Amino acid sequence: MSLATREEAITFLQKNQIPYSEIQHDAVWTAKDVVNLQGVNFPVIKNLFLKKKKSEQFFLYLLVGEKKVSFKSLAPQLQVSRSKLIFATEEELATVLGLKPGYVTPLGLIHDTDNQVTVVLDRELQEVNLIGIHPNTNMETVIIQYSDLLKMIEIMKHKVIEVDSV
């Protein structure tokens, strides 16, 4: 199992002609940490790596950073019972996406060559023009268009589900 690298994330963006700008910063571990960075002028996105308990069904859930997550409302939209929707383990995060906690990003989907992960997008993200995502490191953020996020996911051939968060 190899961990995802910044270089492969940037190479993916360049190879697929996805325009981006970069911001270097101190390490951030949570969406709240990103909000506290100086000069952040884009919506902060929260990325959660979830799974269906006792299965190999994984979800990468992206939502606007300041929103609280309600598993009670999310689970039925994913056709999973509330008691079975859990956070994936650190080991599963490393194995499936090649990432460490605090590094979760849609660019980690490059490592999911078996397409085990369904991407779950909060519908509110459609109202966002630019988003910031980590290029497999939590010391940098790349800014891309929301439409390019969708293009990226399509290139990687991952299923997308749109949900309403509460």
- The pLDDT of residue 119 is 98
Read off the pLDDT of residues 18-34 as tens digits, 9 standing for 90 and up.
Answer: 999 887 777 766 666 66
* Residues 100, 149: Cα–Cα separation, whole Å: 21
| Structure tokens given for 114 | 């078996």
In the Cβ-directed half-sphere of 75, how many Cα atoms lie within 13 Å? Answer: 13
Secondary-structure class of domain 6-163 per CATH: alpha beta
Give the predicted TM-score (pTM) of the model: 0.90
* Residues 118, 61: Cα–Cα separation, whole Å: 8
Asked if residue 82 lies in contact with residue 75, where contact means CB atoms within 8 angstroms, the answer is: yes
Read off the pLDDT of residues 61-73 as tens digits, 9 standing for 90 and up.
Answer: 999 877 788 899 9
Asked if residue 67 lies in contact with residue 156, where contact means CB atoms within 8 angstroms, the answer is: no
